[in-house]
Amino acid sequence: MKKLTAMSLTMPAVVAAGTDEMVRHLYKFAFNRVDEVPETSAEKQKYADDYYSYVNWLHDQPTEMWQLHQMEPKHRLIATYLAAEEPTTDTVIIAHGYKGNGETMANYAKMFHELGYNVLLPDDRAHGKSAGKYITFGWLDRLDYLEWIQKIINTVGTDSRITLFGVSMGGATVEMLSGEKLPEQVRCIIADCGYSNINDEMSYLLKKTFHLPKYPFVPAVDFLNRQRQGFDLKQVSSVEQLKHNRLPILFIHGQKDAYVPVEMLIDNYAATKGPKEKWMVENATHAESFWIDPAAYKEHVADFINRYIAYHPSAN
């Protein structure tokens, strides 16, 4: 009986220690910077040859390296700038996905380049060539994109017309950016498969990938993140930011997306107050909408931008 009592007293400590170790493992897996892009999922391996042809195309272009905070190594941010073949002040900023970088968006860069736009491809914090120890899932990145926007205005011209475009985490990044006070040069937004908020996204993937419940793991990861990055994961919400948006936005989402559920598209679409459209791509999984039919994707995107590039809420 004494042994049983001693065991019952020590078990909570053992469980707590195991939980703490798991939380630290989860945080490292999800938030630590990435220096090499992970392999794509098995279902997208069929696009590998096309993907690398786009990357090679980008490498062959006369690009420029842009920097923010150049004299601060721990905060330095890097982007690739590709000017249009014909001079223009119309520019698209492309936000990459989770554990990607600007180069992984080469297919979209080529699409917009063919449409006649300047293209800026930032590497987010803790991705690619940019500094940063931890991934912020778009939350702090949105503030960096405000600086990239200003750099475009300063470099390309005050008559710039800017489109924000992002896929997956990049989609959520431009959705969250939409809630900030944006200069009049920003005209419209295109968000492909962005999540509604990181709390729900993490809870969903925790169950799907690791078969673990939301509690106690997500609150514990949140606590660890507040210690390391200084913000609450509940703040990382596309829905809350979209409530302040007045710009036109096109939402794109694959009907078979099992990584960011379609319900998140519905929540994001309902939240925004500006002109809005949604395009559900039949048979597309997560971030696959472009690859299923690049021509149709290009047509949808071009049509949306052409209708709204001259738009600004103050003039409407």
The pLDDT value recorded for residue 1 is 40
What CATH number is attached to the domain comprising 298? 3.40.50.1820
Say whether both 249 and 305 belong to one domain: yes
| Paired residues of 34 in beta bridges | 127
Say whether both 284 and 146 belong to one domain: yes
Range name among 4-13, 20-29, 52-61, 209-218 with the lowest pLDDT average: 4-13
**How far is residue 230's CA from residue 232's CA, in Å, rounded to a whole number?**
7
**How far is residue 309's CA from residue 316's CA, in Å, rounded to a whole number?**
13
Q: Is residue 81 part of a domain?
A: yes
Q: Is residue 56 part of a domain?
A: yes
Say whether both 272 and 302 belong to one domain: yes
SS (H, E, C) the chain: CHHHHHHHHHHHHHHHHHHHHHHHHHHHHHHECECCCCCCCHHHHHHHHHHHHHHHHHHCCCCEEEEECCCCCCCCEEEEEECCCCCCCEEEEEECCCCCCHHHHHHHHHHHHHCCCEEEEECCCCECCCCCCECCCCCCHHHHHHHHHHHHHHHHCCCCEEEEEEECHHHHHHHHHCCCCCCCCEEEEEEECCCCEHHHHHHHHHHHHHCCCHHHHHHHHHHHHHHHHCCCHHHCEHHHHHCCCCCCEEEEEECCCCCCCHHHHHHHHHHCCCCEEEEEECCCCCCCHHHHCHHHHHHHHHHHHHHHCCCCHHHC
The domain of 107 spans 42-196+238-309
Say whether both 82 and 145 belong to one domain: yes
**Average pLDDT of 111-135?**
98
Say whether both 159 and 221 belong to one domain: no
Say whether both 126 and 229 belong to one domain: no
Q: Is residue 28 part of a domain?
A: no
Say whether both 202 and 190 belong to one domain: no
The pLDDT value recorded for residue 315 is 55
156: phi > 0 → left, psi -120 to 50 → alpha, else beta; which?
Answer: alpha
pLDDT band at 313 (very low <50, low <70, confident <90, very high): low
Q: Is residue 10 part of a domain?
A: no
The pLDDT value recorded for residue 243 is 98
For residue 40, the tally of other CB atoms under 10 A from its CB is 15
**How far is residue 169's CA from residue 99's CA, in Å, rounded to a whole number?**
9
Say whether both 225 and 283 belong to one domain: no
Say whether both 51 and 113 belong to one domain: yes
**Average pLDDT of 231-246?**
97
Query: Rounded to two decimals, what is the model's pTM?
Result: 0.93
Say whether both 133 and 247 belong to one domain: yes
> pLDDT tens digits for 154-164?
999 999 999 99
Query: Of 210, 235, 260, which marks where a domain is finished?
Result: 235
Closest alpha carbon to 243 in 269, 215, 278, 214: 269
The pLDDT value recorded for residue 42 is 80
> pLDDT tens digits for 14-71?
334 468 999 999 999 999 999 889 888 888 899 999 999 999 999 999 999 999 999 9
pLDDT band at 7 (very low <50, low <70, confident <90, very high): very low
The answer on pLDDT for 11 being more than 90 is: no
**How far is residue 168's CA from residue 170's CA, in Å, rounded to a whole number?**
5
Q: Is residue 98 part of a domain?
A: yes
**Average pLDDT of 241-267?**
97
The answer on pLDDT for 244 being more than 90 is: yes
The pLDDT value recorded for residue 210 is 87
**How far is residue 132's CA from residue 153's CA, in Å, rounded to a whole number?**
25
Q: Is residue 26 part of a domain?
A: no
**Average pLDDT of 139-149?**
98
Say whether both 88 and 182 belong to one domain: yes
**How far is residue 58's CA from residue 131's CA, in Å, rounded to a whole number?**
22
Q: How many domains does the chain have?
A: 2
Q: Is residue 4 part of a domain?
A: no
Say whether both 228 and 292 belong to one domain: no
168: phi > 0 → left, psi -120 to 50 → alpha, else beta; which?
Answer: left
Q: Is residue 16 part of a domain?
A: no
**How far is residue 241's CA from residue 163's CA, in Å, rounded to a whole number?**
18
The pLDDT value recorded for residue 14 is 31
